[in-house]
Amino acid sequence: MTASRELAPTRLIEVPVDPLLAVAAVARLARPPFVVYERAGTWVLAAGARVRLRMDGTGIAVTTPAGQRRVPLTAQPLRQVAEVLAEAGTEPWRAYGWAAFELARLLHLGHADGPLLDLVVPAYELVIGPDGVREHGTAPEGVAEAMRAAASQSWPGPAADLTDPDALDEDYLTAVRATVRDIQAGDADKVILSRVVPVDGEIDFPATYVAGRRGNTPARSFLLDLGGLRATGFSPETVVEVDPAGRVSTRPLAGTRALVGDPDLDLATRRELLGDPKEIFEHAISVKLAQDELAAVCAPDSVRVEEFMTVRERGSVQHLASRVRGELADGRTAWDAFAALFPSITASGIPKAAAVSAIGRNEPRRGLYSGAVLTVDSDGALDAALVLRTVFSAGGQTWLRAGAGVIALSTPEREWTETCEKLRSISRFLVPAQVRGAAG
């Protein structure tokens, strides 16, 4: 996070902190809308809204201190988003928020319903990183005191009986069988099918964030409450990363085995993963599509694959992982890269339009699941985390969700097992709301 992109004025808070505990403690004080986002050793809590942008399938609602207006959508909705944000002011700004998976229907099929994008330019940022703690804007009352007390507080722990990720889901097995038949008939090459697992009762989101972050090794983590929707998660990969110079990258993860903490067993399953034809094929076609998508928005000959098919550990699972990089072509922006890569190949399928259609036929609305939590800067940078390994709450319901990549070689039982393995990255860390320690 660069200081030039942060809100002014800047104030250094002289408090010794554990960044995770400090940001969770302040999240207890924050009123929605707020977003906590962790990237590369820095945590940011962004709260309040100087500007808020909400897009659905027909238009963009823009709220500022001067009031609200609505902009009808054109054929290039993300360019409209960029234009609206550019009107946020001449001072540097950063927006935080999320994109629903159904934004893919708008981008790839030309139509979509319901909320698709929600971004806020915050009134307050708390930045906790290697160089200390800084705040920008108007802080919630008691921020410094909450951070000072965070390390000594007794945070409530997880409960084991809030959900059962291993409960057999016959509907999911049936959907996988049907999708395998469709793929064999030529409808698509790969479709990621997901299933919903309910959670009993309300959970304590800040405490769950603390417990889950301690038990996971994510590429990004987040905690958000935008009013009506709460979520916390531990993203295994990014959809896209763009820096101010136009360097862009994406990291597809495809191919999965469990990670149980036993060195011998984990090494055996890693070797199995690296030698499994189904997993290798699934990963290779994902990397190939990522190359093609970046090539559409990047300078000729700038797209390259790095770290091909390494193994990355992410909480309760290990994945085959690669990195694809490029440099944006003249006239292209971070939003063009986001449009090209969204939704993530590893959460939708190949080709994307066919996969998105298949998902719509077989699943209830995904919303934030397999969409993105993102930050976008006035200097052209954008960072979007894929929303997996996440717990959600809205409308009085709390739930988890996980999916698996279905190809012609898939078996329903193995894909169901894969969803169980992924769900354990979050199901083991749920803290019920009624259990409160000194953290309050």
The partner residues of 234 in beta bridges, in order of sequence, read 221
**Helix, strand, coil distribution of the chain in percent, nearest 5:** 30, 35, 35
Catalytic residue among 237, 241, 282, 363: 237
Amino acid identity, residue 54? R
Whether 241 sits among the annotated catalytic residues: the reply is no
Helix, strand or coil, per DSSP, at residue 195:
strand
What DSSP element (H or E) covers 12?
A: strand 10-13
**DSSP state string for 288-331:** HHHHHHHHTTB-TT--EEEEEEEEEEETTEEEEEEEEEEEBPTT
Whole-angstrom distance, CA of residue 204 vs CA of residue 190: 36
Q: How many CB atoms lie within 10 A of CB 230?
A: 18
Cβ–Cβ under 8 Å, residues 341 and 240:
yes
Nearest to 374 by CA among 390, 356, 364, 386: 386
Whole-angstrom distance, CA of residue 154 vs CA of residue 43: 21
Helix, strand or coil, per DSSP, at residue 131:
coil
Whole-angstrom distance, CA of residue 138 vs CA of residue 118: 22
Nearest to 165 by CA among 398, 413, 422: 422
Whole-angstrom distance, CA of residue 104 vs CA of residue 200: 30
Which residues fall within 8 angstroms of residue 331, CB to CB, at 6 or more apart?
Answer: none
Whole-angstrom distance, CA of residue 368 vs CA of residue 412: 25
Whole-angstrom distance, CA of residue 239 vs CA of residue 119: 17
Catalytic residues, which ones?
A: 237
